[in-house]
Amino acid sequence: MSSPVSASPARLSDVCKHYGAVVALDGVDLHVQGGELLALLGPNGAGKSTAIALCLGLVEPDRGQVRLFGQSPRLLSVRRRVGVMLQTAGIPDTLEVGELLAQTRSYYADPLGIDECVQRAGLEGLLNRRYGKLSGGQQRRVQFALAICGRPQLLFLDEPTVGLDVQARASLWQTIRALVAEGCAVVLTTHYLEEAEALADRVVVLAQGRIAASGSVTQIRARVSQRRIRCVSGLPTDTIATWPEVRSVCRDGEHVEIVTGAAEVVVRQLLFEDADLSELEVQRAGLSEAFLEITREAA
Amino acid sequence: MNTIALNPPRFSPLRCYALEARHEFLRLARTPMFCVPTLVFPAVFYLLFAVMLNHGTAGSGGTVPGIYMLATFGVYGVMTPGLFGFGVSVALDRERGWLTLKRALPMPAGAYLGAKLLMAMLFAAAIFAILGLLGTLCGGVRLSALAWLRLLLTEVFGVLPFCAIGLFLGARVSAQAAPAVANLIYLPMAFFAGLWVPLAALPAFLQTIAPVWPPYHLAQLALRAVDQPATGSTLGHVAVLAAITAVFFMAARGRLARAAAGSS
């Protein structure tokens, strides 16, 4: 057995998990290294939350093995090295922020000072406020403070910036970057591609319980770079479908919708072929569509 | 072996448990919907039934109403923190995800339930103090120090079976339904166990089946604690209450573990 010091913060080996007939995870291998930020992306129901629940010892895998620092996540001594922010926290409304922080700090051997928690999570002036009286963004920051207050070596952040305004999101990103720089490993799940782009060293895309893609942000970006072109044009869809770089095309009334990996090439041809073309729009495909695209490729 | 660090930071379980219990208490103390009925209802009922409706006359079978009701309304009082403080708050924590987060955090295993138990015992002690004060001041109750102590212990430990029932309830019922279900159990059980009206005044059939209700056993213990006539053996009542506690506690545990895993 490798020593806990050198063992990697988190390792899932060939993990399967079913809920009744629903397959949540189906043979997933995941390896998180120290000082690395791994972004776990995927549409709803892809298995992100299940993967995190397994890592936290909340559920047991049907098959395979989950190890944090080389040991079972059920051990208290292992979880004292871990911080966690779940999607729903259910924190009691009647407790004050300072009380919540004191309570969570008491679970850890060597927690951060209150002042440092406040400063890192941006909780200035909120310590004596009741949790239920805070705004959604402030509540999210309290949850983040609870996640980092134990000086974790491994941090799980499940959709951490949902409900935050742009400024709060940026300052949270900065704190997360600082933690990673200090050597903390972070597993982040998010719906926002830009969040993964801003933070992640490595991205893993889950779809239907399997790893559909994995690599650096640049590698993943290249795979989800498809664009949607929409315009009013009389060109027949059959013709457009034969052009290079066109992945799919469909007609919606007088509008034509084209999905492509190289919007510039297709737009040039569209303008060349149809002088009357109007209402031209080019959009990056939605992230969930891109994930579906990746899954289809993977299947 | 572990001499690398001179002063290795240590986790203090005591501090952790103390904070957990303190916050559990604060949570409920800051919820008027819980603490007002819990503390005020037994007091109001006691004043109404034992003080205003009885003028110090001796009851049937050698009972003294002021003292008799001090015991039975005390039992009625300590059912509340168990059924409502435990039951409703567990249902809420389970449903809203607080329980899941706590299981994910390195909270010591017993801290969550331990804190709630301590909270319920504290409320039981408060109910004991309020009723004792009212009984002494308005009900003409005079008891020996030993009898007071016996009643206090009976009530403080008497919350345990109701905590277990509450836990079972909280593990199964939704947060919205929990208060209603708790009331459905609480009110009939209190009545049929002879907490409001002495058992002797109830129909014979209800007297016969009274031992079915958990508060009946606690009431007999409380009555004996204050030297009032009671039926059954002390050991028998304690055994029944202990068994109820164990059965409901064990039944709730498995269910809670599954709920915290988010798979139910």
Sequence-separated (6 or more) residues with CB below 8 Å from residue B74? B42, B127, B128, B131, B151, B155, B222
Report the 10 Å Cβ neighbour count for B21.
19
Task: Please indicate, yes or no, whether the overall pTM of this predicted structure exceeds 0.90.
Answer: no
Phi, psi of A65 (to 5 degrees): -140, 140
Q: Taking residues A177-183, what's their average pLDDT?
A: 93
The token duo for B206 is 């209800």
Yes or no, beta carbons of A90 and B95 under 8 Å apart = yes
Decide: B34 and B44 in contact? Cβ < 8 Å. Answer: no
Distance from CA of A90 to the nearest CA of B (A): 4
Across chain B, what does the average pLDDT equal?
86
Residues 6+ apart with CB under 8 A from A272: none
Are the beta carbons of B26 and A94 separated by less than 8 Å?
yes
Residue A39 has pLDDT above 90, yes or no: yes
**Best of B99, B105, B263 to mutate (most A CBs within 10 Å, chain A):** B105
DSSP state of B169: H
Statement: residue B35 has pLDDT above 90: no
Question: How many angstroms separate the CA atoms of A92 and A132, rounded?
Answer: 7
- The CA distances from residue A46 to A103, A188, B101, in Å, are 33, 14, 21
As a whole-number percent, the residues of chain A with pLDDT over 70 amount to 91
A-chain residues near B101 (CB < 8 A)? 84, 86, 89-91
What is the arithmetic mean of pLDDT over A159-185? 90
Question: Is the Cα torsion angle B9, B13, B14, B18 positive or negative in sign?
Answer: positive
Neighbour count for residue A96 (Cβ, 10 Å):
18
For residues A43 and A267, the model is more confident at A267
Among the partner-chain residues B23, B95, B104, the one whose CB lies closest to the CB of A86 is: B104
CB contacts of A73 in chain B (<8 Å) are none
- Which of A 33-62 lie inside 8 A of B, CB atoms? 49, 53, 56-59
CB distance A19 to A62 below 8 Å: no
B230 and B224 Cβ atoms separated by less than 8 Å? yes
Let me know: does B81 contact B123? Beta carbons within 8 Å: yes
The closest alpha carbon to A4, from A71, A77, A57, A66, belongs to A71
Which residues from B are below 8 Å from A82, CB to CB? 106
